[in-house]
Structure 1
Amino acid sequence: MLIGIVGLAALAPRLPVVEMKIKDIGPQGENPFLNYATIRVKGEVISVPSVSISQGRISLYFTISDETGSIDVRAYDPVASQMIKEGKVPLPGDIFIGEVQVRVRETYSYLIIQGINLFEIKTRSGDVIEVTSLSLNIPQGTLVRATGRATNLRNVSAGWLFDLQTSGGTITVLVPTFVTILDTRRASFAYNNISIGAELTITGVVYHYRGTSPEIVVRKLEDIVIKTPVVQPGIPPGLNVVKLRDLARYVNSMVLVSVTLRGLGYESGTQMPYIIYVYDDTGNGTVRANTTLVLRINPMETATGSILNITGTVRILGGNIVIEANNIIVVKKEPPKVLNISYILENFDEYMGMIVGIRGSLADYRTTSGGSYIITFSDNTGEITVFIPRSAWDRIQQNIQQSILNRETVTFYGYLTLYGTTPELVVYHASGVEV
């Protein structure tokens, strides 16, 4: 009886997968013949995994290194979601060992995890160490526990960052995005309590941020134990919950407003350079905020029409009543509209300040002396200027930066403004670009 070629392939023994050093893979795209090859690799995780979401699908990104070099590793859905659900996301100090597929681009290469069972993670052994402070003498990946009061909560590209005031000093804590992304109810409760200074016990691994600043990275939400939860999450006792029309009665007082986001603006030279335009059922309002708070408004998912809870102090500035924000919580997300450039330009007065998306490609660009990017961006209907401040550009992943500069089709998300008389889209957030 004859056996077909497919049958022979199925019966053939599986060829062993070659283990390679990172240098031999060619992390700068040196080995195009490896494109789509399956290899085995082993390396220490040296970055906190980052997350991106496109059309509801999750992607994970992290970097590993061995004695020969470093390379990025990626996982796409459904594998990425499985990794999060099963607690199989590596953190700095872990050893990643697995079979991966190599992808080679012109100037860089990366590795793709293709199955939840095709890799393993080895964590640093040992008991949990109780700490009241951190130093670089504690090895990266060491499991530690600390108790204290949360302060200075801010959103960063990697997740939530806050300070834990302990009996021995201040410890920086990072809650990565992948920890919070699948359990929004529990994450919201934790976030609200952290935002108003609850007493916490935190368990996590030590990470040497940029090699100089040790911090604790949380592996899962269960590792955030709230010792003194508030009765009403996010609303401290005695706080005035008010409507925008009544702000004049609360000058120099702390208030909380629940408002709808209309758009953003920027005014340089102040400690709170961002202007947040909001409204409720009683009128319009203006909020001033620093960069850290505004980064909680991720333009890829939180755009015009989103609901925000904002706490802050009511002030009179230049004869106008404003709220100087000290906390912003996104209650309901409204995704941005992706619009044609010609439509934006024809209706610019209506869309001024609004957070929107535009899809197209780079036509030209230049950089400022401060490292910001000024891009002429076009679709099939017109051109508009896109401004990416250096603070945002430096946080955009390198492969995405290359896609932009290589004139690939991308979507930018940001707020619309005028530079002089020239309309432009400001991409103020590192998540404001999608390939």
Structure 2
Amino acid sequence: MSGKKGEKKLYYHGLKEQKKLDVSRLKYLSILLSVIGVAVLLVAAQSAQAPLVRVSDVYGNYLMNYAVVRINGTVVTVPYVSQTGGKLGITFTVDDGTGQIDVRVYSPLADEMIRKGLVPFPGDEVTAEVQLRVRETYTYSMLQYLDGLHFRSKLYSEKPPLVKSLNANMSNTYVAVEGIITDFSNVSSGYLLTVDTGDSLVSVLVPRVLLVFNNLSVKVGDTIYAPGIVYLYKGTSPEIVVRNLTQLAVTPIEEAPVVPIGEAPNYPGMVLAVEGSIAGITYENGRYALTLTDGGNYLDALVPREVLANLNPFNASSESTVRVAGRMGDDGRLVAAYLEAVKPVKTEFKPIGVLTLDMRGSIVAVKGNIEEVDRIGSNLKLVIDDGTGRLDVFVPSATLAELSNETKAQLKVGLGVEVGGYLELYRGKLEVVVYTGEGIRALGEPLPPEEIELPKVTAGQLADYEGQLVDFAGSIEGLTYANGTYYLTVDGVKASLPREALLNLNPLEAGTGSPVVIRGLVAGDNLVKGENITVEVPIAPIPLKPDEVTVDMEGQLVAVVGKVTDVANLSGNLKIVVGNLPVFVPRSTANELTYVPAKGDLVQIGGYVEIYRDEPEVVLFNPASIEKLEASGPTEGTVSDLKTATEPLLLTVTWDSIAYQKPDYVITFHDPTGSATLLAERSLLPNPLNAGTGSTLRVIADPLSGRITGLNVTRAKPSPILRTGSIGLSMKGKTVAINGTVSSVAIIGSNLKLTVDDGSGEIAVFIPGGANVSVSKGQTVHLAGYVDEYRDEPEIIVYDLSAIEVERPSGTGEIEEVTVAELSKATGRVNLTVTWDGLGYENGAYYMAIHDSTGSTKLKVARTLLPDPREAGTGSTLRITYDTSAGEVVSITVVEAVPAEELRTGDVTLDLLGTTVVVEGTVKDVYTGSTFVKLTIDDGSGELVIFIPKSVAGDLSFTEGQTVRIAGYVAEYKGTVEVIPYRGDCIEVR
């Protein structure tokens, strides 16, 4: 069939045929329905909220990585701004009570957040919809759209209460302060200001997030009104964090009204300016007291060093007219924050010799060649000489920090320097205090010799030159000492001389009758205050025998030749007996001796005669006026000859044993004729690794002094290497060597004590003077020394530092660098770069509090590893190698040093717990316990307790009236604040 007739009918017979449907349109309908369905699902998804989670449930949960969640909590950090490659980033931290998590916002969302004023600040209650990022040791989140951040409450007020001070109880309140800016720092988190409210100093932070699209002009001296949130920096220190620049008001210091000096005290609390010349400068409790005068009235202004530093001492002398601005205090003194020389008068250079006590406090300029350079803590002291006299120059640490490296490198002995500052009196001597880096000019070469023409006068002419600097000429008649001063009698006139100047007079070369010239200030017709002395024609004295010195020679310069019969140390002074004549060497001279005679030495000594207990004695005041005279050389002999010999003997002996007899060592030896024991200096002893007991020695023995004066090894016998557990008291006095692993390290004063074990048993090792030997627990050592007894147990004494070899452990690859947050999961040895926050002592160990950007913690550390706080204290950036297995610090490297702050004793409070400080004061009380010494010191600002462990104090002794300078950390004992030094070299007794 064909056509319609051939089609099969798809309906029953009798039914009407239906119209055909076009099903091709159904596919378009289905596509439309699918699109509509997806759109509905998308709208539904967008309107659905992400789940609200707790930080503790998601932190470190890898299953939540990339999850979108909501977090409710309080903002607990100041927003941190980063700008990398022109892209802006903001980070703030939210605490929901179960934990804390960082929320990051990236550009361009961060830009929009700042422009719309939607940046969260501490104390704000927020809900944030974020996407999580879970890393191995750190979990953070990202805000992906601005509507995902909702403020449930903002810490803000249009009219915040005005406060004068802050305390920790004000945390998360909105307040305002008004006062003068006394310090300004551009730190990573923004502008950090110190504001003096009149009652206290308040820290104000203008966060960098507010400065991204805004400019803020502010400086020291300006008056500021600053509202904001009270935030506890590091959890303890309250500061105001500004959240709205439109509320901030700054009044430049230049706009302060000028008030006459005589009227200024009538305006307490007012910000004002005064003008006048400088009547004096002194240092007072961390600030400088600047006295101004208008010719009839005087006014004191307390000026921070940073402000005083604006006054260049070379360009503005005390005769200059200066303007000082600040807040007038209730005590009639101006608390200054701004200083300017409005009519500067250039400072003229003066000879050092014309500087007098009545010039104290005035600005001076001097120049000279450097004779001494000393570091005193973090400060620098120079001694300069211009030919007219010597002068101390004190450079505080803040000034030193302003000097360029080139200038510092040229501050060397022998080079010239120009100095500007104010004159101060310190311990009875004038010194120049350089209060600004502009006050030092290093010349890089010695000053050319300049003839300073001073009147040359004789004894009969002195009355005509009273009060003037002169060159006084005459002949030496004698020398005396009274009340801390030396007096040289010249032609009947007494000339006082500092000991440093008197060193130019050597009585072995220039005795009585020698013509001299003394440069000094004429104080009267019979007194010259001398600065230095020049011997024009030395007349050598005739040497005397000891019994030729009599009481009739009191005050005369003499030279004595004889043999030393006794030497004794009297609390730092020396007493030398030559024949039967006592020679007294004061401590100051004894400390400078390059040769200290021994009993039996033939010597020549020069000094002046003094009467002591009705008998004559010679006082040696110049360390160069003692000489050892050569006796005849040693003769060959035997040990048996020692009993009758009077001259040195040359012996060939076998070394039997060694022991210590302070300050020398006792050497026992023998030859075929007998045995003997003599004393020897440590420097003469051979390295026991190479030559120990049993070696054949060639020695020079002095039978009169009982000492070995020379020693050579002719046949070396190395110390035997023994097992540590086999060494017993039967070996006492014998030298031995060991190889083993260090199981403990302790520093005792300047000494080092180890415990070493090679697996057979432990042995104690004591290393005199070995505190600086670099050895740590776990290292392998090879060493040699002699066996001694300590508390009924054997101990090895290593008397030669070259007899200890430390083997470094073989490396296992580069040490991993970790953050504080990653430390808890780290293994082995790791490196951290951190900021040192504090130091404490717990359960017999020291702990350092440290932090980095990821967190904070405490690390156990050996006292020997701690840096010198005078150079690098708390606040310093350190690189620490930490052994996670042992749970202790292995090594410390200072990356960026912050010296410990020097404080008055009365300014050390419990707020500084753990902080390193430097203090100086007079000892008021001394208490000695079984393991410690406790001092009470005072510098006039209040008493302070110094707690010194005996392991730190070493051999130091303390008495009331001493001046001590201590560097250590602040601690607390039963509510009393203490400073505890942890290094022996940080205890200076003056």
Paired position in structure 2 for 1:384: 944
Q: Judging changes above 3 Å, is the alpha-carbon distance between structure 1 residues 356 and 27 closer, same or farther for their aligned structure 2 residues?
A: closer
Question: Residue 730 of structure 2: SS of its match in structure 1?
Answer: coil
> Structure 2 CA distance, aligned partners of 1:357 and 1:256?
32
Paired position in structure 2 for 1:197: 779
> Structure 1 CA distance, aligned partners of 2:700 and 2:788?
16
Give, in angstroms, the shift of residue 344 of structure 1: 3.3
> Structure 1 CA distance, aligned partners of 2:710 and 2:572?
25
Q: Judging changes above 3 Å, is the alpha-carbon distance between structure 1 residues 161 and 330 closer, same or farther for their aligned structure 2 residues?
A: farther
> Structure 2 CA distance, aligned partners of 1:156 and 1:328?
19
Aligned pairs, how many?
335
Q: Does 2:876 correspond to 1:297? A: no
Q: Does 2:758 correspond to 1:144? A: no
CA contact (8 A) 2:836 2:851 kept: yes
Give, in angstroms, the shift of residue 260 of structure 1: 3.9
Q: Does 2:757 correspond to 1:135? A: no
Give, in angstroms, the shift of residue 409 of structure 1: 0.8
Give, in angstroms, the shift of residue 137 of structure 1: 2.7
Alignment of 1:349-368 (within 5 A): 349=911, 351-366=912-927
> Structure 2 CA distance, aligned partners of 1:417 and 1:179?
25
CA contact (8 A) 1:155 1:296 kept: no
CA contact (8 A) 1:90 1:96 kept: no
Give unmatched runs, 5+ long, in structure 1: 48-61, 67-82, 99-118, 181-186, 315-323
Q: Any idea what the Cα deviations from partners look like across 1:177-217, whole Å, max 9, x if unmatched? A: 4585xxxxxx65xx3xx54433x432334454567541241
> Structure 2 CA distance, aligned partners of 1:152 and 1:4?
58
CA contact (8 A) 2:749 2:984 kept: yes
Q: Any idea what the Cα deviations from partners look like across 1:50-86, whole Å, max 9, x if unmatched? A: xxxxxxxxxxxx63489xxxxxxxxxxxxxxxx99xx
Q: Judging changes above 3 Å, is the alpha-carbon distance between structure 1 residues 214 and 254 closer, same or farther for their aligned structure 2 residues?
A: same
Give, in angstroms, the shift of residue 416 of structure 1: 0.5
Question: Residue 598 of structure 2: SS of its match in structure 1?
Answer: strand
CA contact (8 A) 2:687 2:802 kept: no
Paired position in structure 1 for 2:878: 307
Letter in 1 for 2:660: I
> Structure 1 CA distance, aligned partners of 2:700 and 2:937?
39
Paired position in structure 2 for 1:73: none
**Pairing partner for 1:413 from 949, 954, 967:** 967
**Pairing partner for 1:396 from 953, 958, 975:** 953
Give, in angstroms, the shift of residue 298 of structure 1: 6.0
CA contact (8 A) 2:746 2:752 kept: yes
Q: Does 2:904 correspond to 1:340? A: yes
Q: Does 2:834 correspond to 1:277? A: no
CA contact (8 A) 1:45 1:96 kept: no
Identify which of structures 1 and 2 has the higher relative contact order when contacts are C-alpha pairs closer than 8 Å and 6+ apart. 1
Give unmatched runs, 5+ long, in structure 2: 1-508, 512-537, 545-558, 577-581, 587-595, 601-657, 667-680, 694-698, 703-707
> Structure 2 CA distance, aligned partners of 1:306 and 1:11?
62
Q: Any idea what the Cα deviations from partners look like across 1:82-111, whole Å, max 9, x if unmatched? A: x99xx669999999999xxxxxxxxxxxxx
CA contact (8 A) 1:341 1:358 kept: yes
Alignment of 1:16-165 (within 5 A): 16-20=562-566, 35-36=584-585, 39-41=597-599, 46=660, 63-64=663-664, 120=709, 127-130=717-720, 131-133=722-724, 134-140=727-733, 142-165=734-757
Q: Does 2:540 correspond to 1:8? A: yes
Q: Does 2:859 correspond to 1:287? A: yes
CA contact (8 A) 2:860 2:888 kept: no
> Structure 1 CA distance, aligned partners of 2:762 and 2:961?
44
Q: Any idea what the Cα deviations from partners look like across 1:3-60, whole Å, max 9, x if unmatched? A: 97444348889723413276xx668999796531864149x9737xxxxxxxxxxxxx
> Quick one: percent identity of the two aligned structures?
17
CA contact (8 A) 1:156 1:295 kept: no
> Structure 2 CA distance, aligned partners of 1:211 and 1:41?
34
Q: Judging changes above 3 Å, is the alpha-carbon distance between structure 1 residues 337 and 240 closer, same or farther for their aligned structure 2 residues?
A: same
Give, in angstroms, the shift of residue 145 of structure 1: 2.0
Give, in angstroms, the shift of residue 362 of structure 1: 1.2
Paired position in structure 1 for 2:801: 220
> Structure 1 CA distance, aligned partners of 2:769 and 2:919?
25
Q: Does 2:754 correspond to 1:172? A: no
Letter in 2 for 1:303: G
Which is greater in Rg? 2
Letter in 2 for 1:328: V
Give, in angstroms, the shift of residue 414 of structure 1: 1.8
Give, in angstroms, the shift of residue 424 of structure 1: 1.7
> Structure 2 CA distance, aligned partners of 1:378 and 1:4?
46
Paired position in structure 2 for 1:245: 821
Letter in 2 for 1:8: A
Question: Residue 821 of structure 2: SS of its match in structure 1?
Answer: helix
CA contact (8 A) 1:154 1:161 kept: yes
CA contact (8 A) 2:737 2:782 kept: yes
CA contact (8 A) 1:307 1:330 kept: yes
Letter in 1 for 2:779: G
Give, in angstroms, the shift of residue 363 of structure 1: 1.3
Give, in angstroms, the shift of residue 358 of structure 1: 1.0
RMSD: 4.7
Give, in angstroms, the shift of residue 383 of structure 1: 1.9
> Structure 2 CA distance, aligned partners of 1:11 and 1:40?
21
> Structure 1 CA distance, aligned partners of 2:959 and 2:944?
16
| 205-214 vs 26-35, which moves further | 26-35
Letter in 1 for 2:562: P
Question: Residue 275 of structure 1: SS of its match in structure 2?
Answer: strand
Paired position in structure 2 for 1:256: 830
Give, in angstroms, the shift of residue 353 of structure 1: 0.7
**Pairing partner for 2:979 from 418, 425, 429:** 425
Letter in 2 for 1:135: G
> Structure 1 CA distance, aligned partners of 2:717 and 2:771?
22
CA contact (8 A) 1:386 1:424 kept: yes
> Structure 2 CA distance, aligned partners of 1:96 and 1:343?
60
CA contact (8 A) 2:923 2:936 kept: yes
> Structure 1 CA distance, aligned partners of 2:962 and 2:764?
38
